[in-house]
Amino acid sequence: MSRRAELLALLVSDALALILAYVAFILACQRWGWLDHSFAVQDLTLITAALLCTGWLVLFLFAGMYQERFAGSRFDESVTLLKVVTVGSLLLFFSVFIDRMGTGSARLGIGFYWGALVVAVATGRLGVRAVQKAFILRGRGLHKAIVVGWSERVEELYKEVARYPAAGLQIVGAVRLQHPAPLRVGLPVGPDDGFLTDRPAFPEGDALPEDGVEIALNGDAAGQAGHRIADLPGLIDRLDVKDVLIALGPGDHAYLDDVLRVCDGRSVSLKLVPDFYSAIGGMARTEHMYGLPLIEVFPEPIPAWEKSTKRLIDILVSLVVLIAGSPLWLAVGALVRLTSSGPAIYRQTRVGQYGERFTMYKFRTMYENAEEETGPVWAQKNDARVTPLGRMVRRIRLDEMPQLWNVLKGEMSLVGPRPERPFFVEQHVGAIPLYSRRHRVKPGVTGLAQVKWRYDNDLDDVRQKLKYDLFYIENMSLRMDAKILLQTTRTAVGGGGH
């Protein structure tokens, strides 16, 4: 089952279940006589059912119940549903029947509606998950995965995955690094890509999947050169890999950082065998996929409801500022055009979440073609490339306002690490450890590094700002976002920007 089909099935199932629970509640009040008739505040109508259904679906969305739960625990999903329905039912009845909350009939009404919701929604979702599991067991909708390791534990992890087909993992490549030999990668054997080794990759008697998987240990195989560890991101993209399974053996901890470094900031899930939890400290969480024990590295840094709320705030704030401030933005754009040649809006390619590139917008503050002779360079204090108007606009941060369009499109957020140009990203990734980790989240119009540090003048500035970016990512919350936005506003009003 594809992600789109899963989402559609859950939405249809939840909508039908919510309407069914509402119908049961109305019938219990008006027809069956189980509840006080006054609880049926109005007759059953399609409009009422649709409004109530929409409200619940929005609540489910904010609670993260439509995030991908590929081969996840159905019990954990039911527990989450139980919590959301409990809170939602209490809020609904508290707002509608606040004057009768202490009566026995009110408590009975709350209990009946709560039970109807839990049973109806849980039944529908269990049905969807059962269908999804049936597809997985038939080899459809599997997550493609690569096994990475330095010893025979690569083969052990492969066999372990094979024991749990319900986990939905399809091994499409295997990677082994011998100490301290360069990394070699084996890919699915086919007419166009992949290669065989000169000896079996797995012990005899262990059947390989139909498309075949081999591990290259030393040298070239079948006349094709092996891949180094730096090639792993390219293989992930080319094979559409969703999971990287890391098989650690004794003494492998010192080499783990190489794999984490090249995979960090990409749209893949990193999972370890659970015997070496101490190797990564608090950066992981344990999970079971239909009995297959794994540890997820770099889990989602923010709870689902906060992530949804953060996105809602991004949309509302960007809409309000863009519409309400449109006369000011038009005036700034006109001044930019009148005071120097060139367009009012400057477009530049930046690197966003998971390394995806996008076009970022700003009011132009430099002279046209300012980097035509020098190429990409860092901004400097008293930069000669900046126009007189641009210097003033930068000081009060008005040049960043067009980026609210990027926020509205979902390419950026109000708060997050600042997006960098591809030219500098390529330099920093090779020179600064963990730099790619800042791509785990959406870039921001402002960020903790921007209110705590100055513009980048050299690599030392980049390293210092990276510390703030990583601190933000590991501790991000709505509270921290609000604090950063207030500090940014204070800096802009006080003219403290560069």
Q: DSSP string spanning 437-486?
A: GGGGS--EEE-HHHHHS----SHHHHHHHHHHHHHHHHH--HHHHHHHHH
Q: For residue 58, how many other CB atoms are within 10 A of its CB?
A: 12
Q: Measured between alpha carbons, how far is 449 from 470 in angstroms, rounded to an integer? A: 10
Name the helix (H) or strand (E) containing 246. Answer: strand 243-247
The predicted structure's pLDDT at residue 206: 39
pLDDT tens digits for 267-294? Answer: 788 887 655 444 444 445 555 555 566 6
The predicted structure's pLDDT at residue 323: 95
Q: What is the mean pLDDT of residues 65-75?
A: 73
Give every CB contact of residue 186 below 8 A, 6+ residues apart in sequence. 173, 174, 175, 194, 195, 197, 201, 213, 214, 215, 216, 221
pLDDT tens digits for 174-204? Answer: 776 555 444 444 444 333 333 223 333 333 3
Residue 32 has pLDDT above 80, yes or no: no
Comparing 243 with 32, the larger pLDDT belongs to 243
pLDDT tens digits for 424-446? Answer: 888 888 788 788 888 889 999 99
Q: Which residue has the tokens 């930069």?
A: 383
Contact between 416 and 440 (Cβ < 8 Å)? no
Q: Which domains does the chain have, with CATH numbers?
A: 3-137 (no CATH), 143-297 (3.40.1360), 304-493 (no CATH)
Start-to-end CA distance of the chain, whole Å, equals 51
Comparing 381 with 132, the larger pLDDT belongs to 132
Least confident of 1-10, 201-210, 427-436: 201-210
**Cα distances (Å, whole numbers) of residue 467 to 138, 241, 283, 432, 438:** 46, 29, 16, 11, 10
Residue 219 has pLDDT above 60, yes or no: no
Q: Choose from 160-174, 267-281, 355-369, 379-393 the range with maximum mean pLDDT.
A: 355-369
What the block records as the tokens of 162 is: 């094979």
How far is C-alpha 426 from the chain's CA centre? 22
The predicted structure's pLDDT at residue 38: 54
Residue 220 has pLDDT above 70, yes or no: no
Specify burial of residue 208 (Cβ count, 10 A radius: 0-12, 13-18, 19+): middle
Question: Could you tell me the sign of the dihedral formed by the alpha carbons of 384, 330, 411, 473, in that order?
Answer: positive
Q: Measured between alpha carbons, how far is 464 from 462 in angstroms, rounded to an integer? A: 5
Per-residue pLDDT band for 35 (boundaries 50, 70, 90) equals low
Contacts by 11-15 with C-beta closer than 8 Å and gap 24+? Answer: 11/57, 11/66, 13/121, 13/124, 13/125, 13/127, 13/128, 14/56, 14/57, 14/60, 14/121, 14/124, 14/125, 15/53, 15/57
Name the helix (H) or strand (E) containing 71. Answer: none
The predicted structure's pLDDT at residue 244: 86
Task: Express as a percent the part of the chain with pLDDT over 70.
Answer: 72
Task: Express as a percent the part of the chain with pLDDT over 90.
Answer: 23
Comparing 257 with 395, the larger pLDDT belongs to 395
